[in-house]
Amino acid sequence: MESVLKASGAEFQIVVVENGSPDDSWEKLIAWADGQITLPVDSENPLYAYSHPPVTKPLNYAVADTASSDTADADVVFIRSMENLGFAGGNNIGLRYMLSHGFDYAWLLNNDTVIEQDAIQELVAFMEAPENSTVGIAGSKLRLYHRPDTLQGLGAIFNPYNGKSRIVGAQQVDHGQFDSQTEGITYAIGAAMFVGRNFLQEVGLMSEDYFLYNEENDWSARAHRAGWKVGIAVKSIVYHKQGASTGNSPKKSKLQIKALQYKYRGKILLYKKYYRKQLPYLYFHLFTRSMRYIAKGNFKEAQVIYAAIFNTNKEL
Protein backbone atom coordinates (compact mmCIF):
# COMPACT_ATOMS: atom_id res chain seq x y z
CA MET A 1 0.00 0.00 0.00
CA GLU A 2 2.75 2.47 0.88
CA SER A 3 4.49 1.88 -2.44
CA VAL A 4 1.24 2.30 -4.37
CA LEU A 5 0.50 5.55 -2.55
CA LYS A 6 3.90 6.79 -3.73
CA ALA A 7 3.20 5.95 -7.39
CA SER A 8 3.49 8.81 -9.87
CA GLY A 9 2.57 9.72 -13.42
CA ALA A 10 -1.11 8.76 -13.35
CA GLU A 11 -4.30 9.77 -11.58
CA PHE A 12 -5.78 6.87 -9.67
CA GLN A 13 -7.78 5.77 -6.67
CA ILE A 14 -6.79 2.81 -4.52
CA VAL A 15 -9.56 0.33 -3.70
CA VAL A 16 -8.82 -2.20 -0.96
CA VAL A 17 -11.14 -5.20 -0.75
CA GLU A 18 -11.00 -6.98 2.60
CA ASN A 19 -12.14 -10.40 1.45
CA GLY A 20 -13.80 -11.91 4.49
CA SER A 21 -10.74 -12.47 6.66
CA PRO A 22 -11.69 -14.25 9.92
CA ASP A 23 -9.17 -12.24 11.98
CA ASP A 24 -8.89 -8.53 12.76
CA SER A 25 -7.49 -7.54 9.35
CA TRP A 26 -10.28 -5.02 8.74
CA GLU A 27 -9.70 -3.23 12.03
CA LYS A 28 -5.95 -3.13 11.38
CA LEU A 29 -6.47 -1.66 7.91
CA ILE A 30 -8.56 1.19 9.30
CA ALA A 31 -6.13 1.74 12.18
CA TRP A 32 -3.26 1.92 9.68
CA ALA A 33 -5.16 4.42 7.51
CA ASP A 34 -5.80 6.53 10.62
CA GLY A 35 -2.12 6.47 11.51
CA GLN A 36 -2.65 4.50 14.71
CA ILE A 37 -0.34 1.64 13.74
CA THR A 38 2.70 1.31 11.50
CA LEU A 39 4.10 -1.73 9.75
CA PRO A 40 7.88 -1.85 10.12
CA VAL A 41 10.10 -2.95 7.24
CA ASP A 42 13.72 -3.99 7.69
CA SER A 43 15.83 -0.99 6.69
CA GLU A 44 18.34 -3.41 5.16
CA ASN A 45 15.71 -4.63 2.71
CA PRO A 46 16.71 -3.48 -0.80
CA LEU A 47 13.10 -2.41 -1.41
CA TYR A 48 12.93 -0.29 1.74
CA ALA A 49 12.88 3.00 -0.17
CA TYR A 50 9.74 2.04 -2.10
CA SER A 51 7.61 2.30 1.04
CA HIS A 52 9.65 4.58 3.30
CA PRO A 53 9.24 7.10 4.63
CA PRO A 54 5.53 6.28 5.00
CA VAL A 55 3.02 8.73 3.59
CA THR A 56 1.38 11.13 6.02
CA LYS A 57 -1.54 9.74 8.00
CA PRO A 58 -4.44 9.81 8.45
CA LEU A 59 -5.16 9.05 4.83
CA ASN A 60 -7.96 10.65 2.88
CA TYR A 61 -10.05 7.49 2.78
CA ALA A 62 -13.65 6.33 2.61
CA VAL A 63 -15.49 3.13 3.44
CA ALA A 64 -17.81 1.98 0.66
CA ASP A 65 -20.88 -0.04 1.55
CA THR A 66 -21.72 -0.82 -2.08
CA ALA A 67 -20.07 -0.51 -5.48
CA SER A 68 -22.08 2.68 -6.11
CA SER A 69 -21.10 4.47 -2.88
CA ASP A 70 -20.08 8.12 -3.29
CA THR A 71 -16.33 8.03 -2.72
CA ALA A 72 -15.12 10.28 -5.54
CA ASP A 73 -12.95 12.52 -3.35
CA ALA A 74 -11.15 9.74 -1.46
CA ASP A 75 -7.59 8.66 -2.24
CA VAL A 76 -8.24 5.21 -0.78
CA VAL A 77 -11.51 3.29 -0.61
CA PHE A 78 -12.02 0.32 1.70
CA ILE A 79 -14.68 -2.26 0.85
CA ARG A 80 -15.43 -5.10 3.26
CA SER A 81 -16.81 -8.46 2.20
CA MET A 82 -18.33 -10.38 5.08
CA GLU A 83 -17.34 -13.69 3.51
CA ASN A 84 -14.33 -15.01 1.64
CA LEU A 85 -15.42 -15.00 -1.99
CA GLY A 86 -12.18 -16.46 -3.32
CA PHE A 87 -9.64 -14.86 -5.63
CA ALA A 88 -12.07 -14.04 -8.44
CA GLY A 89 -14.93 -13.00 -6.17
CA GLY A 90 -12.77 -10.58 -4.21
CA ASN A 91 -11.32 -9.04 -7.36
CA ASN A 92 -14.76 -8.72 -8.91
CA ILE A 93 -15.87 -6.51 -6.03
CA GLY A 94 -13.16 -4.07 -7.04
CA LEU A 95 -13.95 -4.39 -10.74
CA ARG A 96 -17.64 -3.62 -10.16
CA TYR A 97 -16.60 -0.54 -8.22
CA MET A 98 -14.34 0.53 -11.10
CA LEU A 99 -17.11 0.10 -13.67
CA SER A 100 -19.67 2.01 -11.61
CA HIS A 101 -17.33 4.95 -10.96
CA GLY A 102 -16.22 5.70 -14.52
CA PHE A 103 -12.58 4.64 -14.38
CA ASP A 104 -10.85 3.71 -17.64
CA TYR A 105 -8.64 1.00 -16.14
CA ALA A 106 -8.38 -1.31 -13.16
CA TRP A 107 -5.19 -2.87 -11.82
CA LEU A 108 -5.74 -6.06 -9.85
CA LEU A 109 -2.79 -6.19 -7.49
CA ASN A 110 -2.07 -8.74 -4.77
CA ASN A 111 -1.59 -7.47 -1.24
CA ASP A 112 1.88 -9.06 -0.97
CA THR A 113 3.45 -6.81 -3.59
CA VAL A 114 5.59 -3.68 -3.79
CA ILE A 115 5.63 -1.59 -6.96
CA GLU A 116 8.14 0.71 -8.59
CA GLN A 117 7.06 4.34 -8.64
CA ASP A 118 6.28 4.45 -12.36
CA ALA A 119 4.61 1.02 -12.56
CA ILE A 120 1.08 2.37 -13.11
CA GLN A 121 2.25 5.00 -15.59
CA GLU A 122 4.02 2.34 -17.64
CA LEU A 123 0.91 0.14 -17.71
CA VAL A 124 -1.24 2.99 -19.01
CA ALA A 125 1.36 3.87 -21.64
CA PHE A 126 1.53 0.24 -22.74
CA MET A 127 -2.24 -0.13 -23.07
CA GLU A 128 -2.62 3.15 -24.96
CA ALA A 129 0.12 2.42 -27.49
CA PRO A 130 -1.51 2.01 -30.94
CA GLU A 131 0.06 -1.42 -31.45
CA ASN A 132 -1.63 -2.68 -28.26
CA SER A 133 -5.19 -1.73 -29.14
CA THR A 134 -6.28 -5.38 -28.96
CA VAL A 135 -4.58 -6.13 -25.62
CA GLY A 136 -7.29 -6.86 -23.07
CA ILE A 137 -5.17 -8.00 -20.13
CA ALA A 138 -1.72 -6.59 -19.42
CA GLY A 139 0.67 -8.10 -16.92
CA SER A 140 3.63 -6.45 -15.25
CA LYS A 141 7.17 -7.77 -14.98
CA LEU A 142 7.15 -9.65 -11.67
CA ARG A 143 10.31 -9.93 -9.63
CA LEU A 144 10.81 -11.74 -6.34
CA TYR A 145 10.43 -9.56 -3.25
CA HIS A 146 13.21 -11.30 -1.34
CA ARG A 147 15.49 -11.49 -4.40
CA PRO A 148 14.61 -8.30 -6.27
CA ASP A 149 17.06 -8.90 -9.12
CA THR A 150 15.35 -12.22 -9.93
CA LEU A 151 12.21 -12.76 -11.98
CA GLN A 152 9.11 -14.51 -10.81
CA GLY A 153 8.09 -14.27 -14.44
CA LEU A 154 6.64 -12.29 -17.33
CA GLY A 155 3.49 -14.30 -17.83
CA ALA A 156 2.76 -17.91 -18.66
CA ILE A 157 2.56 -20.09 -21.75
CA PHE A 158 0.00 -22.83 -21.19
CA ASN A 159 0.30 -26.26 -22.81
CA PRO A 160 -3.15 -27.87 -23.00
CA TYR A 161 -1.64 -31.26 -23.86
CA ASN A 162 -0.08 -31.74 -20.43
CA GLY A 163 -1.88 -29.12 -18.34
CA LYS A 164 1.34 -27.34 -17.44
CA SER A 165 2.31 -23.69 -17.70
CA ARG A 166 5.80 -22.41 -18.47
CA ILE A 167 6.51 -19.15 -16.68
CA VAL A 168 8.65 -16.98 -18.95
CA GLY A 169 11.91 -16.04 -17.20
CA ALA A 170 11.08 -17.85 -13.96
CA GLN A 171 13.83 -17.73 -11.32
CA GLN A 172 16.29 -16.04 -13.69
CA VAL A 173 18.29 -12.92 -12.83
CA ASP A 174 16.71 -10.13 -14.84
CA HIS A 175 18.95 -8.41 -17.38
CA GLY A 176 16.07 -7.67 -19.75
CA GLN A 177 16.88 -10.82 -21.71
CA PHE A 178 13.25 -12.01 -21.64
CA ASP A 179 11.61 -8.67 -22.48
CA SER A 180 11.30 -9.62 -26.14
CA GLN A 181 9.89 -13.07 -25.40
CA THR A 182 6.37 -12.09 -24.41
CA GLU A 183 4.69 -12.85 -27.75
CA GLY A 184 2.41 -15.83 -27.39
CA ILE A 185 1.85 -15.39 -23.66
CA THR A 186 -1.29 -17.31 -22.73
CA TYR A 187 -2.07 -15.50 -19.50
CA ALA A 188 -0.68 -12.88 -17.14
CA ILE A 189 0.36 -13.92 -13.65
CA GLY A 190 -2.57 -13.22 -11.36
CA ALA A 191 -0.62 -11.14 -8.83
CA ALA A 192 -0.79 -8.12 -11.17
CA MET A 193 -3.33 -7.83 -14.01
CA PHE A 194 -4.29 -4.56 -15.71
CA VAL A 195 -7.56 -4.35 -17.67
CA GLY A 196 -9.56 -1.68 -19.44
CA ARG A 197 -13.23 -0.73 -19.38
CA ASN A 198 -13.89 -1.83 -22.98
CA PHE A 199 -12.44 -5.26 -22.27
CA LEU A 200 -14.57 -5.71 -19.15
CA GLN A 201 -17.72 -4.62 -20.92
CA GLU A 202 -17.15 -7.13 -23.72
CA VAL A 203 -15.55 -10.12 -21.95
CA GLY A 204 -16.93 -9.66 -18.45
CA LEU A 205 -15.59 -10.07 -14.93
CA MET A 206 -13.48 -12.95 -13.67
CA SER A 207 -15.26 -16.29 -13.46
CA GLU A 208 -16.27 -17.19 -9.91
CA ASP A 209 -16.55 -20.87 -10.82
CA TYR A 210 -13.08 -21.20 -9.29
CA PHE A 211 -12.23 -20.34 -5.69
CA LEU A 212 -8.47 -20.64 -5.99
CA TYR A 213 -6.21 -21.34 -9.00
CA ASN A 214 -6.94 -21.23 -12.76
CA GLU A 215 -8.89 -17.95 -12.65
CA GLU A 216 -6.43 -15.95 -14.74
CA ASN A 217 -6.16 -18.79 -17.26
CA ASP A 218 -9.95 -18.87 -17.59
CA TRP A 219 -10.18 -15.10 -18.01
CA SER A 220 -7.48 -15.11 -20.66
CA ALA A 221 -9.11 -18.00 -22.53
CA ARG A 222 -12.32 -15.96 -22.74
CA ALA A 223 -10.30 -12.96 -23.87
CA HIS A 224 -8.64 -14.93 -26.68
CA ARG A 225 -12.01 -16.28 -27.82
CA ALA A 226 -13.34 -12.72 -28.05
CA GLY A 227 -10.36 -11.57 -30.12
CA TRP A 228 -8.36 -9.91 -27.35
CA LYS A 229 -4.69 -10.52 -26.58
CA VAL A 230 -2.67 -10.79 -23.39
CA GLY A 231 0.37 -8.52 -23.21
CA ILE A 232 3.18 -7.79 -20.78
CA ALA A 233 4.25 -4.23 -19.91
CA VAL A 234 7.89 -5.05 -19.20
CA LYS A 235 8.66 -1.54 -17.93
CA SER A 236 6.02 -1.89 -15.20
CA ILE A 237 7.88 -3.66 -12.40
CA VAL A 238 6.28 -5.32 -9.38
CA TYR A 239 7.99 -7.21 -6.56
CA HIS A 240 5.98 -10.17 -5.29
CA LYS A 241 6.42 -12.15 -2.09
CA GLN A 242 4.87 -15.15 -3.88
CA GLY A 243 3.39 -17.04 -0.95
CA ALA A 244 3.14 -20.80 -1.45
CA SER A 245 -0.45 -22.04 -1.18
CA THR A 246 0.27 -25.73 -1.48
CA GLY A 247 3.91 -26.02 -0.46
CA ASN A 248 6.49 -28.49 -1.64
CA SER A 249 6.77 -30.75 1.38
CA PRO A 250 6.29 -34.50 0.79
CA LYS A 251 3.39 -34.64 3.26
CA LYS A 252 0.92 -31.81 2.95
CA SER A 253 -1.15 -30.15 5.65
CA LYS A 254 -4.95 -30.10 5.64
CA LEU A 255 -4.87 -26.56 4.24
CA GLN A 256 -2.48 -27.58 1.47
CA ILE A 257 -4.68 -30.57 0.60
CA LYS A 258 -7.64 -28.19 0.35
CA ALA A 259 -5.66 -25.99 -2.02
CA LEU A 260 -4.89 -29.05 -4.16
CA GLN A 261 -8.62 -29.78 -4.32
CA TYR A 262 -9.25 -26.35 -5.79
CA LYS A 263 -6.28 -26.70 -8.15
CA TYR A 264 -7.22 -30.04 -9.72
CA ARG A 265 -10.98 -29.53 -9.81
CA GLY A 266 -10.43 -26.09 -11.29
CA LYS A 267 -8.07 -27.45 -13.95
CA ILE A 268 -10.65 -30.02 -15.07
CA LEU A 269 -13.33 -27.31 -15.19
CA LEU A 270 -11.01 -25.12 -17.28
CA TYR A 271 -10.59 -27.94 -19.80
CA LYS A 272 -14.32 -28.65 -19.96
CA LYS A 273 -14.95 -24.99 -20.76
CA TYR A 274 -12.12 -24.27 -23.22
CA TYR A 275 -10.04 -27.35 -24.05
CA ARG A 276 -12.47 -30.24 -24.43
CA LYS A 277 -10.50 -31.86 -27.25
CA GLN A 278 -7.43 -32.06 -25.00
CA LEU A 279 -9.33 -33.36 -21.94
CA PRO A 280 -8.13 -36.97 -22.41
CA TYR A 281 -4.54 -35.72 -22.27
CA LEU A 282 -5.26 -33.99 -18.97
CA TYR A 283 -6.82 -37.13 -17.51
CA PHE A 284 -3.78 -39.15 -18.55
CA HIS A 285 -1.46 -36.57 -16.98
CA LEU A 286 -3.46 -36.56 -13.73
CA PHE A 287 -3.54 -40.35 -13.60
CA THR A 288 0.23 -40.62 -14.00
CA ARG A 289 0.69 -37.96 -11.32
CA SER A 290 -1.56 -39.91 -8.96
CA MET A 291 0.59 -43.00 -9.54
CA ARG A 292 3.68 -41.02 -8.52
CA TYR A 293 1.91 -39.85 -5.38
CA ILE A 294 0.98 -43.43 -4.49
CA ALA A 295 4.53 -44.65 -5.13
CA LYS A 296 5.75 -42.08 -2.60
CA GLY A 297 3.07 -43.00 -0.07
CA ASN A 298 1.17 -39.73 -0.52
CA PHE A 299 -2.28 -41.29 -0.65
CA LYS A 300 -4.21 -38.14 0.27
CA GLU A 301 -2.84 -36.31 -2.77
CA ALA A 302 -3.80 -39.21 -5.03
CA GLN A 303 -7.27 -39.25 -3.50
CA VAL A 304 -7.66 -35.55 -4.29
CA ILE A 305 -6.95 -36.25 -7.97
CA TYR A 306 -9.47 -39.10 -8.16
CA ALA A 307 -12.09 -36.95 -6.41
CA ALA A 308 -11.50 -34.21 -8.97
CA ILE A 309 -11.76 -36.62 -11.90
CA PHE A 310 -14.97 -38.21 -10.67
CA ASN A 311 -16.45 -34.85 -9.61
CA THR A 312 -17.08 -35.70 -5.98
CA ASN A 313 -17.62 -33.04 -3.34
CA LYS A 314 -16.30 -35.13 -0.49
CA GLU A 315 -14.12 -33.18 1.95
CA LEU A 316 -10.65 -34.74 2.14
Task: Identify whether residues 192 and 302 lie together within a single domain.
Answer: no
Whether residue 314 lies inside any domain: the answer is no
Pairing status of strand 61-64 against strand 76-81: parallel
Task: Identify whether residues 215 and 263 lie together within a single domain.
Answer: no
Give the number of other Cβ atoms within 10 Å of residue 259's Cβ: 20
Task: Identify whether residues 87 and 221 lie together within a single domain.
Answer: yes
Q: Which domain holds residue 209?
A: 2-240
pTM for the model: 0.92
Task: Identify whether residues 33 and 100 lie together within a single domain.
Answer: yes
Mean pLDDT by 10 residues, the chain (316 residues): 94 95 94 93 89 94 78 93 94 96 96 96 98 98 96 97 95 97 94 98 97 95 98 98 53 80 94 97 96 95 93 60
pLDDT for 197: 97
pLDDT for 246: 39
- CATH code where residue 145 lies: 3.90.550.60
Query: Smallest Cα–Cα separation from 107: which of 15, 219, 9?
Result: 15
Whether residue 283 lies inside any domain: the answer is yes
Helix (H, G, I), strand (E, B) or coil at 195: strand
pLDDT for 248: 44
Task: Identify whether residues 10 and 64 lie together within a single domain.
Answer: yes
Give the number of other Cβ atoms within 10 Å of residue 307's Cβ: 18
Whether residue 316 lies inside any domain: the answer is no
Pairing status of strand 76-81 against strand 14-19: parallel
**Residue 264: C-alpha distances to residues 50, 148, 197, 283 (Å):** 37, 31, 31, 11
Task: Identify whether residues 96 and 176 lie together within a single domain.
Answer: yes
Task: Identify whether residues 288 and 207 lie together within a single domain.
Answer: no
Whether residue 301 lies inside any domain: the answer is yes
Whether residue 109 lies inside any domain: the answer is yes
